[in-house]
Amino acid sequence: MVINKRLEKWALLSPALVVLGLVTLVPFVQTLWLSFTDERITAISKPVNWIGLENYIYAITDPDFIEALGRTIYFTLTSVGIEGVLGVAVALLLNQKFPGRNVLRFLIILPWAVPTIVNAIMWRLIYHPEYGALNSFLWQMGIIPDYQSWLGTPGRALNMIIFADIWKNFPLVVYISLAALQTVPMDLLQASRIEGAGAWRRFRTITLPWIMGPLLVVLVLRTIEAFRVFDIVYVMTRGGPSDSTKTASFFVYQEYFNYLRSGSGASYAVLLAAISTVLISIYYIGARRQAQG
């Protein structure tokens, strides 16, 4: 009977294990193996040599990769940070009672529903240097003297991409925060108000700690997602101008599919996986703490 139960458990799990094993575990192990070789993607198969840590030594001293990594971290911290602050602020607003609140709660899901690629294209059109709405609007308002090249200026392009990313993803933080806000006990807030605590103090000492758990979980999830950023960059700038928006995933993509260096590319990919593992562990610890309450 016990053995049957155990068998049944694995039988129930087996389809999922097979799919995940074949599509994620096997490729991952192969990437790991590749990263220790000098394999290249070629039409004629050549002997592949085991070269130990050579790829890794090259990777961690490669200034282009370090820069791409730095950009990715900047992208991740800035967009997730602003999404967090904006998301909580909007959630606080939508948690108040005022006419039109429900319509607003309803509408705010729209940016999140827009596909990532459409979002990228929409903002690319808005940022267009000659025909973009942003230029026309700012110029007509007299805010800028001339049309600007928003995505064509090194130093600026990445921030413009971050803005587009925030626009699409902040609703997620709003919905999670709003759900958490609705569980904040009113009597606690009332008591604090009677004791004379101002709005900001009530927020800092009661509301924020109360919603912190779910908020952190969603922000870590967003961090994991933002760290792999590829699609929005691919459509908006293709990594340019002069590599100023080339993120780590994009870097590895080019190493694989433009320069056809699969061995070396794999070592970069494994390094990204290692960083992701750190983020995933943080998520795991946070989610467990959350589950235990």
Partner 1 sequence: MKNTNFKLFGLLSASLILVVFTLSPLIWLIIMSVSSAAELTAKPLVWWPDTIDFSRYSDLLNMDSGSGERFLMALRNSLITAITATLMALIISIPAAFAFSRRGASLVLLFGFLATIMMPPITYILPLYNIFGSLSLLNSSTALAIVYCAMLLPFATWLMKSNFDAIPAELDQASMLEGASTFYTLRRVILPLALPAIAATFMLSFLAAWDEFFYALIFTSDLSTKTLPVAIADFTAGRVTDYGVIAAVGVLASLPPAIVAMCFQRFIVSGLTAGSVKG
Binding to partner 1 (CB under 8 A) within 14-43 occurs at: 15-16, 19-20, 22-28, 30-31, 34
Residue 120, token pair as written in the block: 């990228």
Question: Distance (Å, rounded) from C-alpha 79 to C-alpha 87?
Answer: 11
Q: From CA 173, how far away is CA 87, in angstroms rounded?
A: 5
155 or 285: CB nearest partner 1: 285
Q: How far is the CB of 189 from partner 1 (least distance, A)?
A: 16
Given 162, 217, 237, 239, the residue binding partner 1 (CB under 8 A): 217
Q: Are 278 and 67 in contact (CB under 8 A)?
A: no
Question: Which two tokens mark 285?
Answer: 């610890």
For the segment 164-183, give every residue that binds partner 1 (CB under 8 A).
Answer: 167, 172, 175-176, 179-180, 183
Regarding 108 and contact with partner 1 (CB under 8 A), the answer is yes
For residue 70, state whether it binds partner 1 (rule: CB under 8 A).
Answer: no
Asked whether the beta carbons of 238 and 253 are under 8 A apart, the reply is no
Nearer to partner 1, 126 or 158 (CB): 126
71 touches partner 1 (CB under 8 A): no
Count of beta carbons in the 10 Å neighbourhood of residue 252: 22
CA-based nearest residue to 110, from 177, 171, 162, 178: 171
Residue 252 CB, nearest distance to partner 1 (Å)?
5
Nearest to 122 by CA among 160, 152, 88: 160
The correct pick among 218, 237, 246, 264 for binding partner 1 (CB under 8 A) is: 218
Binders of partner 1 in range 115-144 (CB under 8 A): 115-118, 121-126, 128, 130-131, 133, 136, 139-140
How far from chain centre, in Å, is Cα 27?
23
Q: What DSSP state is assigned to residue 37?
A: B
Residue 210 contacts partner 1 per CB under 8 A: no
Query: Least distance to partner 1 from the beta carbon of 148, Å?
Result: 13
